[in-house]
Structure 1
Amino acid sequence: MRYFLCFICPPAAVLTTGRIGSFILSIILTIFFWIPGIIYAILVTSDFYSARRNRRVVRAIRANRY
Structure 2
Amino acid sequence: MHKQTHSLPALISFFIPGLGQLIKGHVLKGIFIWIFGGILTFFFWWTFIIPFILWAWNVYDAYNS
Q: How many residues align?
A: 47
Q: Kindly indicate which of the two structures has a greater share of residues assigned to helix.
A: 1
| Identity across matched positions, percent | 13
TM-score (normalised: structure 1): 0.52
For structure 1, the residue ranges without an aligned partner over 5 or more in a row are 48-66
Q: Which residue of 1 aligns with 2:18?
A: 11
Helix, strand or coil at the partner of 2:18: helix
Helix, strand or coil at the partner of 1:10: coil
Shift of 1:2: 1.5
1:3-42 alignment to 2 at 5 Å? 3-31=10-38, 32-33=40-41, 34-35=51-52, 36-42=54-60
Letter of the aligned partner of 2:9 in structure 1? R
TM-score (normalised: structure 2): 0.53
Q: Which runs of 4+ in 1 moved over 6 A?
A: none
Shift of 1:41: 4.2
For structure 2, the residue ranges without an aligned partner over 5 or more in a row are 1-7, 42-50
Helix, strand or coil at the partner of 2:60: helix
- Cα distance in 2 between the residues matched to 1:5 and 1:44: 9
Report 1 or 2 for greater relative contact order, CA contacts < 8 Å, sequence distance ≥ 6: 2
